[in-house]
Amino acid sequence: MATKKQKPVKKAEWKGYHKINLTNEQDAMFEDWVVSSGVSMVWLEGLIDDGYKVSFSYDEYHSGVSCALYCTDAKKEWAGYSLTAWGGNAGEAFYMICYKHYAIANQLWEIVEERSEKSYKKRG
């Protein structure tokens, strides 16, 4: 059986960060969203299937875990940008990145104005 060679998908070049820092109201709504949305680590597979690279690292500044969502799909408006979140552990950091991506940005990062003001909360 002959196989057809497929062209590799064009990957976006890294451009920087899209900063979505939470307002006090958004931070207060986070825990309710985690419960009502049913978010779980299973969502990781969906993000990868949608063309995102997901990474975790220790965040020394916040003494916790950082989660980064990098858009590799060159067709998307925010291609090449990374969205980050942090929490006390990997689960909380992942849930926070999902909250920013799905609930705040509605999967369309360009609709959310960047908020680079630092907050001194326990997560972000």
Tokens representing 103 are 């609930």
| Average pLDDT across the chain, whole number | 84
**Residue 65, domain member (yes or no):** yes
**Residue 4, domain member (yes or no):** no
State the pTM of this model. Answer: 0.79
**Residue 117, domain member (yes or no):** no
**Residue 8, domain member (yes or no):** no
**Residue 103, domain member (yes or no):** yes
Mean pLDDT, rounded, for 85-104? 94
State which residues form the domain around 48. Answer: 16-111
Tokens representing 113 are 């104005």
**Residue 124, domain member (yes or no):** no
pLDDT of residue 78: 86
Mean pLDDT, rounded, for 58-66? 90
**Residue 118, domain member (yes or no):** no
9-56 pLDDT tens trace: 567 777 878 788 888 888 889 989 999 999 988 899 999 999 899 999
- Count the domains in the chain: 1
Helical packing angle, 90-98 and 24-37, nearest 10°: 100
How far apart CA 68 and CA 85 sit, in angstroms, is 7
Burial class of residue 93, CB neighbours in 10 A (0-12, 13-18, 19+): buried
